């Protein structure tokens, strides 16, 4: 049984930082791309960041320069470090895993991911 569990969300002030985590269990994803998505009320879920099995990263323009995705394969965990948070970053953040090993393209489409966590709420007050 594969599970992705996000944690670390909460209420922060604008300009603050927060790191959220996604711990995977049931299988190892060291060779798979991982991603973060987010969804605000009334809005579509949007891509945030992705990291390949080789450690290359890609970010949405809205978070580039502020967010950093990383992974710890020994812990089967992916992280999203969020700095300079803005109220518009308020959303439920979801982590996801691709099932294709050593895929050499950035995975930014939702339908390319097959494993999803239940999300963690990040609220940024002004």
User: Which pLDDT score, from 0 to 100, does residue 6 have?
Assistant: 98
Q: In which residue are the tokens 């609220």 written?
A: 123
DSSP structure string for 4-35? EEEE--EEEETT--EEEEEEEESS--TTEEEE
**Of 7, 1, 11, which Cα lies nearest the Cα of 122?**
11
Dihedral of CA atoms 31, 32, 33, 34 in degrees, nearest 10, equals: -110
Q: Rounded distance, CA 99 to CA 30, Å?
A: 11
Q: What is the mean pLDDT of each run of 10 residues along the chain (126 residues)?
A: 96 98 94 96 96 94 98 96 98 96 89 96 97
User: Which pLDDT score, from 0 to 100, does residue 105 have?
Assistant: 87
User: Which pLDDT score, from 0 to 100, does residue 104 have?
Assistant: 82
- Asked if residue 107 lies in contact with residue 35, where contact means CB atoms within 8 angstroms, the answer is yes
User: Which residues, at least 6 apart from 61, have a Cβ–Cβ distance to it below 8 Å?
Assistant: none
């Amino acid at each position: 049984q594969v599970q992705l569990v996000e944690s670390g969300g909460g209420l922060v002030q604008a300009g603050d930082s927060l790191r959220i985590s996604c711990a995977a269990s049931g299988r190892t994803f060291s060779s798979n791309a991982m991603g973060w998505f987010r969804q605000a009320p009334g809005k579509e879920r949007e891509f945030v960041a992705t990291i390949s099995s080789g450690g290359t990263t890609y970010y949405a323009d809205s978070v580039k320069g502020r967010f950093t995705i990383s992974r710890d394969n020994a812990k089967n965990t992916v992280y999203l470090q969020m700095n300079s948070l803005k109220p518009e970053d308020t959303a439920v953040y979801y982590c996801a895993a691709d099932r294709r090993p050593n895929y050499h393209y950035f995975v930014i489409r939702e339908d390319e991911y097959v494993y999803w966590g239940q999300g963690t709420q990040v609220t940024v007050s002004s």
